[in-house]
Homo-oligomer: A and B are copies of this chain.
């Protein structure tokens, strides 16, 4: 796996056909991960599914790990808007429910697992996404209200970690009720 990601750089050409190819490849990866076990998720398979030549995928992404990290990053960018309900409790409850719903999607779950497996540290970063900044934004807003919220570390441990752990490692459902109990534990009445 190359260290260079597939970000757009100077002299690139992100519009038109390139964008179509990129979208088709991303969709193919998701489809192949969903009907799991059918195909071994290799570059020629992805390319065939996307109706694109394998050469293109090799040149743009280089390896399956980079491709997965790119798909995950794109999947998790802007998927959740930081809520603004007026209270930290409301914000976190809303956020936790949104994230629970997101991680409940079998497609997303399969994507996360595959990215963790083949993407290494870069893949892990893609799976984290912008969660940390989003949490920080809600905590900052609470501080702006003059209150003293729990630390980012504590919030991560109490909210993010259980959501990700339950989704990735167990087969228990991520219900909104359960997600809300995480907030109740973090912010006692």
Chain A, range 160-180, C-beta contacts under 8 Å to B: 160-162, 164-166, 168-171, 178
Is there a chain B Cβ closer than 8 Å to A118's Cβ? yes
* A128–B164 touching, CB < 8 Å: no
Known contacts A36-B120, A113-B116, A120-B36, A162 near B169 by CB under 8 Å: no
CB of A97 closer than 8 Å to a CB of B: no
Contact call A168/B116, Cβ cutoff below 8 A: yes
* Contact B165–A160 (Cβ < 8 Å): yes
Contact B164 A169 (CB under 8 A): yes
Q: Which residues of B contact A170 (CB under 8 A)?
A: 124, 128
Q: Is A127 an interface residue (CB 8 A)?
A: yes
- Answer whether residue A145 sits at the interface, using C-beta atoms and an 8 A cutoff: no
- Is A1 an interface residue when CB atoms closer than 8 A count as contact? yes
A171 contacts which chain B residues (CB < 8 A)?
Answer: 121, 124
Q: Cβ of A24 < 8 Å from any Cβ of B? A: no
Residues of A within 8 A of B (CB): 1, 36-37, 113-118, 120-121, 124, 127-128, 153-154, 156-158, 160-162, 164-166, 168-171, 178, 182, 185
Supply 26 A–B pairs (Cβ within 8 Å), ascending by A. A37-B120, A114-B117, A116-B116, A116-B117, A116-B168, A116-B169, A117-B118, A121-B171, A124-B168, A124-B169, A124-B170, A128-B170, A153-B178, A157-B158, A157-B161, A157-B165, A158-B158, A158-B185, A160-B165, A161-B162, A161-B164, A161-B165, A161-B166, A164-B165, A164-B169, A168-B168
